[in-house]
Structure formats: C-alpha cells, structure tokens
Amino acid sequence: MRNVQIITNEESHCSSDIFSATEEEFDLLFAEKSIVAFMTDVQARLTNQEFESVFSQLSARKCKKSEVSSIDGILFYGLDSKNVYHKVNEQEILSQTSTGLNQVS
C-alpha cells in the first residue's frame, strides 16, 4: 500500500487528508513515475469508471495522520494555479534523492 496525501483548497486555507492506495490505484493517479498530481489532470487521464472506482476505494482507506510514517504521493485538488511550478520542483527533489542528499545516516 502507498500513502497519498490529498491537499484541497478551501475558501481561505488548505486542508489535507492521507489515504492508502494499492499499487494499481497509485499508478493510475500518478502518471509516468510522478509523485505529484493535480486532480484536473487525473480526471482528464482516467475514464469516469476508473476515476470513480479509485476514489471510492481511497475514501474507504483514510489514514490517521499520527500513524503515517511516509507520504508516497501528493494529489492537489483545487490548486491548479500551482501546476506550472510542480514539474521543476519535482525533478529537483528526485535528483537530490537519487544523489543521496535525503538519506538518513
């Protein structure tokens, strides 16, 4: 199981919840080995049946934040204005991870 944090834009602030996704669900949500996705992109990529299936399953697997030790992917809902920034930052994060900068000794 993979942990997905869904960040939603509400009127004056953001909120987030964490859900457990199967590998198949995670792969549907995050295309091309990505770790960041935007809801509008996910909706455009999936069929209505796939979309409804994934999110009905996710909603049944909400995690307690205090019990989660890692986040495997972040899904933004209602924050499309941030979409232009995420690709550059994601590549930077992935390159730092692969060079060992984020490893705990």
Task: Please indicate, yes or no, if residue 103 is contained in any of the structural domains.
Answer: no
Decide: residue 98, CB within 10 A, 0-12 exposed, 13-18 middle, 19+ buried: exposed
**With 70 as the cut, is the pLDDT of residue 99 above it?**
no
Q: Looking at residue 64, what DSSP letter applies? A: -
pLDDT, residue 104, reads 42
Q: Which domain holds residue 91?
A: 2-98
Flag whether 104 is in a domain: no
Residue 43 falls inside a structural domain: yes
pTM: 0.72
41-50, 76-85, 88-97, range with the lowest pLDDT: 88-97
Tell me the C-alpha distance between 25 and 92, whole Å.
25
Q: Are 62 and 17 in contact (CB under 8 A)?
A: yes
Q: Inform me whether the pLDDT recorded for 19 exceeds 90.
A: yes
Distance CA 3, CA 35 (A): 11
42-45 long-range contacts, Cβ below 8 Å, gap at least 24?
A: 42/75
Residues 22-58 have pLDDT tens digits of 999 999 999 877 888 888 889 999 999 999 999 999 9
Number of domains in the chain: 1
pLDDT higher than threshold 80 for residue 75 = yes
Residue 28 counted as domain residue: yes
Is 105 contained in some domain? no
